[in-house]
Structure 1
Amino acid sequence: MERLRRRLPPLTALVVFEAAARLQSFTLAAQEMCITQAAVSRQIRQLEEHLGNPLFIRNHRSVALTTAGQRLFGAVDESLERIAQASTEIRGDASDAVTIAATICMSTYWLMPRLDAFQQEHPNVALRLFALDREVDLRAENVDMAITCGSEGQRHGVRMAHLMDEELVPLCSPAYLAGRVLREPGELLGERLLNLDREHWRGFNWAVVDWAAWFDHMQVRGTLPAARLAFNNHAQQIQATLDGRGIALGSPRMLADLLASGRLVEVLPQRLNTRRGYYLAINEHSTRPRAVAELQGWLERVSHAAMA
């Protein structure tokens, strides 16, 4: 064991290297590990001196792995994952439940109403639901699956499966219309329009698609009404819509239950196809692959059946 330890690089430096290589940024690695960027640079330099090879190509605002760095990252990534998996198995993994994450709105109005039916069909699969309006690192946060919005893309250790396309349509409560009928997109310029706060969502993978984009797609020219209410999460916006506070853009597929019950109505039939969709992001390193596969298959069947 002593001879082995003499051959190993400094272990702290390896952990710092893994973060920097995965994020391709010394700055982001420092933020993730709650240390300074200088400390990250120092650990990487110590590791490079130990190995006698550069691990990163340092550009002005970014870094990239050298061939040696790619080789080391593959070994470190696999080794840390095996340690994490063994640790999870040893501590019992919090009742062995499948953890699924989704935005607050998706969790509230689409996912939760369907989970009872899933558990009736699969009574042996326990579930944990995380409602989070942020990006989730599946591996670091030990999350088995997440519903994300955007393009399919590719992520290391994550498999993507299409759930539904995103189309946006003006929605409101019947009480808001009070018997009125709107016939043309331009008529909405005189209505109370509810907005998502763009600044809050800046930098997220799912950028806000707002009224300006909808009116532009409908070729409506005119001055948008001032945003009297803006919300930092879509669930609040939909709740305000249910309360009759105004008209919001929403996904008929996500909010299908509210539309079917009549609590929400489509103000106009014109829809904006955002050219993005909702995807299941599946952690390929989950310790519960069978239960995850059952939940994935069930969610895909439910979603695709609704679109048929």
Structure 2
Amino acid sequence: MKLPPLKALPVFEAVARLNSFSLAAEELAITQSAVSHQIKQLETYLGEQLFWRSGRAVTLTDDGRQYFDAIGSALLQIERASEQLLGHEESRLRLSVFSSFAVRWLVPRLPELQRLHPQIDLALEMSTENPALSDRVADCFIAIHQSSRAYSYELLYEERLFPVCSQDYWQRIRRELGRDDRPEAVDEAPLSPEEVARFPLLSTYSIYDKAAGDWEAWYRDVNRALPASTRIQHFSHMLLALEAARYHQGVALTNDYMLSTRKDSEEFVRLPCHALVTGDKFYFAWKTSRRRERGIQTLRRWLVDEAIRGGLRGE
């Protein structure tokens, strides 16, 4: 078996992860010159430059990034296997997750994860809609797209958007539409798209990356056009639009995981209207080469169980 200088590999991993020779030296409790020597030894063995150096700034080359993806995963597997044999059950995992999914669905459920699986030390990393699937970013991800063949995916949720407003605003809608003289128990007749358009619509730009794109898609789903006279208030993120709805400012489009707690269900009313299936699917993603890691599989099973129990996905 022909292996590279093994002492250099943890040094390379630390420099690549921290983008700094000095920070890597501090973490590893060695001198910066020792770090430089180990990296030079590894580059000489491989015959490739692994880092671009510009003053104090250090970035991976393309070859370095490819090597880090493989080496970082291998070192993690060695660490996990050793911890299991030593009887150290704690699993340290970084989960990259969208802000809205984290704030509205995941974080309220973390105490239950800690109660059931105290050995999992979970760190949350905020991500964009299309995070780069890499060990450099996180150990596992909540992702919308199956963008890498090197990863495995478990479906958690297929998104649908539906209109909601506050309890107080719903009473206003009922009054203005002449429904307030009917008992609420029988007040489930669907609202027409034209009736909804009589009230301010709270729009989230980021869903379709265009102004009022979410409401245009909602109307288009039932072969209608968004009325030109509709008053629309714009927000960059669904979290903001939902807060505006909470404070009686109009009707917002939201999804199931945004209204996933008992408090939410008490404060908001889901209007009797159709739901728009957006086509976005939320997956738990992990590197296939790390499929045997106990911590990742424990977290996967817990997320799936919670998604089923909370109604995000079927059995």
TM-score by length of 2: 0.64
Deviation at 1:142, TM superposition (A): 3.7
The answer for the alignment partner of 1:174 in structure 2 is: 167
Does structure 1 residue 102 correspond to structure 2 residue 102? Answer: no
Is 2:152–2:286's contact at 8 Å kept on the other side of the alignment? yes
Deviation at 1:213, TM superposition (A): 0.6
Is 1:98–1:288's contact at 8 Å kept on the other side of the alignment? no
Does structure 1 residue 232 correspond to structure 2 residue 227? Answer: no
| Residues 3 and 169 of structure 1: CA distance in aligned 2, closer, same or farther (over 3 Å) | closer
Per-residue displacement from partner, 1:233-269 (whole Å, max 9, x unpaired)?
2212222221222111111244232576311111123
Does structure 1 residue 187 correspond to structure 2 residue 195? Answer: yes
The answer for the alignment partner of 2:185 in structure 1 is: none
The answer for the alignment partner of 1:122 in structure 2 is: 117
Question: What is the distance in 1 between the residues matched to 2:167 and 2:215?
Answer: 20
Per-residue displacement from partner, 1:201-258 (whole Å, max 9, x unpaired)?
749xxx9960001011122345245664322222122222212221111112442325
The answer for the alignment partner of 2:48 in structure 1 is: 10
Q: 1:155 aligns with which of 138, 148, 154?
A: 148
| Residues 227 and 282 of structure 1: CA distance in aligned 2, closer, same or farther (over 3 Å) | farther
Deviation at 1:196, TM superposition (A): 1.5
Per-residue displacement from partner, 1:273-307 (whole Å, max 9, x unpaired)?
12332111223455992111111101101112333
Question: What is the distance in 2 between the residues matched to 1:208 and 1:160?
Answer: 31
The answer for the alignment partner of 1:305 in structure 2 is: 309
Is 2:216–2:226's contact at 8 Å kept on the other side of the alignment? no
Is 2:96–2:125's contact at 8 Å kept on the other side of the alignment? yes
Larger radius of gyration: 2
Per-residue displacement from partner, 1:60-86 (whole Å, max 9, x unpaired)?
xxxxxxxxxxxxx8x984675215653
| Residues 212 and 80 of structure 1: CA distance in aligned 2, closer, same or farther (over 3 Å) | closer
- One-letter identity of the residue aligned with 2:49: L
| Residues 176 and 123 of structure 1: CA distance in aligned 2, closer, same or farther (over 3 Å) | same
| Residues 258 and 305 of structure 1: CA distance in aligned 2, closer, same or farther (over 3 Å) | closer
Is 1:196–1:210's contact at 8 Å kept on the other side of the alignment? yes
Unaligned runs of 5+ in 2: 6-39, 53-57, 84-89, 178-190
Is 2:73–2:135's contact at 8 Å kept on the other side of the alignment? no
Instruction: Count residues in correspondence.
Output: 245
Is 2:291–2:297's contact at 8 Å kept on the other side of the alignment? no
Question: In the TM superposition, what are the counterparts of 1:123-138 in structure 2 within 5 Å?
Answer: 123-138=118-133
The answer for the alignment partner of 1:241 in structure 2 is: 245
Unaligned runs of 5+ in 1: 17-32, 45-72
Deviation at 1:133, TM superposition (A): 3.6
Deviation at 1:186, TM superposition (A): 1.5
The answer for the alignment partner of 2:286 in structure 1 is: 282
Deviation at 1:132, TM superposition (A): 3.2
Question: What is the distance in 1 between the residues matched to 2:170 and 2:229?
Answer: 18
Per-residue displacement from partner, 1:96-143 (whole Å, max 9, x unpaired)?
522112221111111111111111111111111223344322325341
| Residues 4 and 230 of structure 1: CA distance in aligned 2, closer, same or farther (over 3 Å) | closer
Deviation at 1:87, TM superposition (A): 8.2
Per-residue displacement from partner, 1:30-69 (whole Å, max 9, x unpaired)?
xxx979xxxx9xxx9xxxxxxxxxxxxxxxxxxxxxxxxx
Is 1:171–1:250's contact at 8 Å kept on the other side of the alignment? yes
Is 1:195–1:227's contact at 8 Å kept on the other side of the alignment? no
Question: What is the distance in 2 between the residues matched to 1:163 and 1:133?
Answer: 18
Per-residue displacement from partner, 1:159-205 (whole Å, max 9, x unpaired)?
1110011111101111222353362221111111111225x9749xx
Does structure 1 residue 82 correspond to structure 2 residue 71? Answer: yes
Question: What is the distance in 2 between the residues matched to 1:267 and 1:215?
Answer: 15
Give the percent of matched residue pairs that are identical in Structure 1 and Structure 2. Answer: 21
The answer for the alignment partner of 1:49 in structure 2 is: none
| Residues 293 and 5 of structure 1: CA distance in aligned 2, closer, same or farther (over 3 Å) | closer
The answer for the alignment partner of 2:15 in structure 1 is: none
Provide the secondary structure at the position in 2 that maps to 1:97: strand
Question: What is the distance in 1 between the residues matched to 2:154 and 2:212?
Answer: 22
| Residues 79 and 185 of structure 1: CA distance in aligned 2, closer, same or farther (over 3 Å) | closer
**Alignment RMSD (CA, Å):** 3.9
